[in-house]
Structure 1
Amino acid sequence: MLTQVSEVVPVPAWPFSLLVLSCGGCWSVTAKMLRNLLALRQIGQRTISTTSHRHFKNKVPEKQKLFQEDDGIPLYLKGGIADVLLYRATMVLGVGGTAYALYQLAVAAFPKKQE
């Protein structure tokens, strides 16, 4: 198991406040608040990195066998119903978008006559 070793790095305390500019105006943020924010970030990283990881079964060999067999089905449809729907939606949007673009070009090419 991979573990990440991290240490808490002290942040120097400034005796003055920092000004942070934002869309709404200026906010005064003290150095203590920034130190707390940095410490919270380090604690969050340490907690997440040391949690136990779930072990999932490696599905790559199964997928390789499925996609490499020669059964006459196109490769972009071998993934199941999700791939079929994605392919059809892509084709409909692609053909429809092309037709709409050609229509708009035709409309722009023949402007209405002004009387």
Structure 2
Amino acid sequence: NHTQDKRTRGRSFVMWPFLLLVLSCGGCWSVTAKMMRNLLALHQIGQRTISTTSHRHFKNKVPEKQKLFQEDDGIPLYLKGGIADVLLYKATMILTVGGTAYAMYQLAVAAFPKKQE
């Protein structure tokens, strides 16, 4: 088949640096063979056509999110996402304050070196 010949020629053209690696590699045949299999699989995935149409229909949640985030309930915007946002905010604050304190401690240690006897 003419299309198979084209695909085979293209694959061998892409694979020639790895074939040189196989020939130059003395005791690592199994590792090189695995690399070749992975590379061929990756090449085949790249050759497949990607469908642009979606087969699954998801519910549009944008209006619900807009209503939630635009509601004036006194909660800061960065905490309206729920418990995950609260945990991320607290972790960020702890790391920021802790990192600042540690940096200031290291600056103080560097500013007042120990006296050598």
- Superposed CA RMSD in Å reads 5.0
User: Structure 1 residues 110 and 16, CA, compared in 2 at 3 Å: closer, same or farther?
Assistant: closer
Q: Compare 55-64 and 34-43 and name the one that shifted more.
A: 34-43
CA 1:33–1:99 in structure 2 vs 1: closer, same or farther (change >3 Å)?
Answer: closer
CA contact (8 A) 1:17 1:30 kept: no
SS at match of 1:16: helix
| Shift in alpha-carbon separation, 1:38–1:70, aligned structure 2, 3 A | same
- How much identity, in percent, do the aligned residues show? 93
Separation in 2 of the partners of 1:97 and 1:15?
Answer: 47
* Higher mean displacement: 18-27 or 40-49: 18-27
Q: Which moved more, 1:73-82 or 1:50-59?
A: 50-59
Distance 1:18 1:45 in 2: 23
Aligned counterparts of 2:18 and 2:107: Cα–Cα separation in 1: 62
Partner residue of 1:105 out of 96, 99, 107: 107
Give 1:46 shift: 2.7
TM-score by length of 2: 0.60
Displacement of 1:41 in angstroms is 3.1
Partner of 1:42: 44
Label 1:22 to 1:90 Cα distance change in 2 as closer, same or farther (>3 A): farther
Query: How many residue pairs are counted as aligned between the two chains?
Result: 102
Q: Which runs of 5+ in 2 are unaligned?
A: 1-15
How far does the alpha carbon of each residue in 1:26-66 deviate from its partner, in whole angstroms, 9 at most, with x for none? Answer: 99999999999679735655365378632211111111100
Q: Give the match's secondary structure for 1:52.
A: coil
Q: Cα–Cα, structure 1 residues 58 and 108, in superposed 2: closer, same or farther, change >3 Å? A: same
Equivalent-residue separation in structure 2 for 1:16 and 1:99 (angstroms)? 51
TM-score of the superposed pair, with normalisation by structure 1: 0.61
Bigger strand share: 1
Is the 1:17–1:31 contact (alpha carbons within 8 Å) kept by the matching residues of 2? no
The answer (yes or no) to whether the contact 2:22–2:32 under 8 Å persists in 1 is: no
- Greater mean alpha carbon deviation, residues 48-57 or residues 65-74: 48-57
Query: Cα 1:94–1:25, aligned 2, differ >3 Å: closer, same or farther?
Result: farther
